[in-house]
Amino acid sequence: MELKDRFLKYVAIDTQSDENSESFPSTAKQWDLLNLLVEEMKALGLEEDTIDKYGYVMGTIPATKGYEKAPVIGFLAHVDTSPDMSGKDVRPRIIEEYQGEDIVLNPSLTMRVAEFPELSRFVGHTLIHTDGTTLLGADDKAGVAEIMTAAEYLMSHPEVKHGKIRIGFTPDEEIGRGVDFFDVKTFGADFAYTMDGGYEGELEFENFNAASAKILIKGRNVHPGYAKHKMINAIDVACELNSLVPCQRATSIYRGL
């Protein structure tokens, strides 16, 4: 299957995660794509195809003859999309041979080159975008499609020499839980790369860890007539607490009540 067709197939599946859910994966609909990927890997002839009770999918592209002792390389991507905007009923639109013009998503929403100057980098490329009412889901179904397309190519081209390759797909990355139950030992890669964003040829080797904490600050509500030295504004407390955090080390978001 061509990369573009595979990508369009995946974005048609709603896999939005839910940060308020206590289950794992956080939404049952993520299983739709996860189970599909296992079946596709089996159809391609990959080995060690598994999906565990948490939804982690793993598979192996076996080493070509003579390269069995090469380091094991892993490739990873996540299937969920952000809870910030709907990922249901995605209507992708395709621009062939993009010429650098503004992109009209719908009558009320336009991506203007003046606001997104990086669009100029993609002149001559094929672009895929939504109609502006939903997410496209390229984060990270583009990565999923890239890995699966590469797997299909390697399985059908044994002349390309390589060591053992492990591929893995995870749920709930968008809500910071993507690795909560990921079995690194079972994955068994010596080196692994996440296919999730970036320009062609770009390799990121350092990043923040997305660790977070939620702090609930309760103020003290007192009638204004006798509130002096008694009323406490939760936002003021949050600002004071934020000022104590080294700005070089953390960005904090506080919810005041």
Identify whether 80 is a catalytic site residue. Answer: yes
Q: If you write DSSP's letter for every residue of 26-91 in order, what string do you get?
A: SSTTHHHHHHHHHHHHHHHT-EEEEE-TT--EEEEEPPPTT-TTSPPEEEEEE--B-TTS--SS--
Output b/e per residue, 193-218; b: 16+ Cβ within 10 A.
Answer: bbbbeeeeeeeeeeeeeeeeeeeebe
Residue carrying structure tokens 């090469």: 70
What backbone torsions phi and psi does residue 109 show, to the nearest 5 degrees? Answer: -140, 125
Identify whether 196 is a catalytic site residue. Answer: no
- Whether cis (ω within 30° of 0) applies to the bond prior to 25 is yes
- Are 32 and 141 in contact by the 8 Å Cβ rule? The answer is no
CB-based burial label for 86 (10 Å; 0-12, 13-18, 19+): middle
Side-chain half-sphere of 180: how many Cα atoms within 13 Å? 17
Q: Give me the catalytic one of 18, 80, 152, 174.
A: 80
The vertex-196 CA angle with 128 and 47, nearest 5°, equals 105
Q: Give me the catalytic one of 18, 140, 173, 174.
A: 173
- Are 136 and 130 in contact by the 8 Å Cβ rule? The answer is yes
Give the closest residue to 176 by CA, choosing from 42, 18, 54, 50: 18
For the annotated catalytic residues, the residue numbers are 80, 173
